[in-house]
């Protein structure tokens, strides 16, 4: 049985449809990447799954998590699911944490909301979670602004995985980071996914990030899913022309002379155009 089953999901405002009847499934332990340019509706889809849409947006269709329809759920039931079964990692690590609360307070609050454990146990869990993402345990007493971007995003991942959710929705978690940090974050996510066995819904505009660890890739444009399938199938034999253009846009490092050749070619082309 699939963990998450999205069926004919439509997200619309009063005058326009942003996501148009999309359907897909995520299996337990799966890494599904949703790829698309900005405005393609991928983040809307992610928000709809957690019932996080702004009040002016209307979601129709069904989103089933473990067989329960999320869109029909009461807010009380939804609260019990959030954090425990679905967790989010956001793009903007700077504001993912409440500025006047220490990192440790966030972890404490997460556990207090969903678990009944002693304070000593909560502190222990927090330290273990921080260590598991490669952070020092004394970071718990720091404020968010005292951490670097990479550290904050690691802390956010630790927080998301704290209660061992079934599904982690990572909404462009690497976009605001430099390439080395984002590479490390991806590596960390892959490692933690293996350890906890959670499914990851990875939303990105960069096919490079999807190509590394995703099992399956789903390509969205203008609110439609135009192609979905196994990673290799999408990357090597794209059927749709849009996917093809995305694949072509992946920069490939070539040898020095090739680079020279291409530059000369470009110059020749430029001359011809003049």
Q: Which residues bind other proteins (CB under 8 A)?
A: 50, 52, 55, 79-84, 86-88, 90, 92, 95-101, 106, 109-110, 113-114, 143, 145-146, 156, 159
Q: How far apart are CA 88 and CA 167, in angstroms?
A: 9
Task: Give the shortest CB-251-to-other proteins separation in angstroms.
Answer: 30
Phi-psi region of 62 (alpha: psi -120 to 50; beta: other; left: phi over 0): beta
Q: Closest CB to other proteins among 78 and 226?
A: 78
Q: How far apart are CA 9 and CA 224, in angstroms?
A: 10
Angle between helices 103-114 and 119-132 (to 10 degrees): 120
Q: Closest CB to other proteins among 56 and 273?
A: 56
Q: Closest CB to other proteins among 11 and 87?
A: 87
Task: Give the shortest CB-237-to-other proteins separation in angstroms.
Answer: 37
Task: Give the shortest CB-10-to-other proteins separation in angstroms.
Answer: 22
Task: Give the shortest CB-72-to-other proteins separation in angstroms.
Answer: 18
Q: Closest CB to other proteins among 20 and 79?
A: 79
Q: How far apart are CA 203 and CA 267, in angstroms?
A: 37
Residue matched to tokens 């444009």: 221
Task: Give the shortest CB-87-to-other proteins separation in angstroms.
Answer: 7
Q: Closest CB to other proteins among 115 and 136?
A: 115
Q: Closest CB to other proteins among 87 and 219?
A: 87
Q: How far apart are CA 224 and CA 8, in angstroms?
A: 11
Task: Give the shortest CB-114-to-other proteins separation in angstroms.
Answer: 6
Query: DSSP secondary structure string, 99-149?
Result: TTS-HHHHHHHHHHHH----HHHHHHHHHHHHHHTT--GGGGGS-GGGS-H
Residue matched to tokens 């602004």: 145
């Amino acid at each position: 049985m699939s963990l998450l089953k999205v069926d004919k999901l439509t997200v619309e405002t009063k005058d326009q449809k942003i996501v148009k009847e999309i359907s897909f499934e995520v299996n337990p332990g799966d890494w599904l990447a949703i790829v698309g340019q900005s405005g393609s509706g991928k983040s809307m889809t992610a928000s709809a799954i957690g019932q996080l849409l702004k009040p002016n947006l209307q979601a129709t269709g069904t989103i089933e998590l473990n067989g329960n329809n999320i869109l029909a759920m009461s807010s009380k039931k939804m609260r019990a699911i959030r954090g425990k079964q679905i967790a989010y990692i956001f793009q903007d690590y700077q504001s993912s944490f409440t500025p006047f609360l220490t990192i440790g307070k966030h972890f404490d609050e997460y556990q207090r909301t969903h678990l009944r454990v002693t304070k000593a146990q909560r502190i222990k869990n927090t330290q273990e979670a921080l260590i598991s993402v490669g952070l020092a345990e004394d970071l718990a007493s720091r404020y968010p602004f005292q951490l670097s971007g990479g550290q904050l995003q690691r802390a956010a991942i630790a927080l998301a995985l704290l209660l061992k959710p079934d599904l982690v929705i990572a909404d462009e978690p690497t976009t605001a980071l430099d390439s080395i940090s984002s590479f490390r974050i991806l590596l960390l996510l892959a490692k933690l996914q293996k350890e906890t066995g959670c499914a990851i819904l990875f939303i990105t505009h960069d096919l490079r990030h999807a190509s590394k660890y995703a099992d399956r890739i789903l390509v969205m444009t203008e609110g439609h899913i135009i192609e979905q399938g196994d990673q290799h199938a999408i990357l090597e034999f794209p059927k749709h022309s849009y996917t093809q253009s995305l694949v072509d846009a992946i920069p490939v490092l070539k040898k020095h002379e090739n680079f020279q050749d291409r530059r000369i070619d470009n110059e020749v082309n430029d001359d011809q155009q003049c």
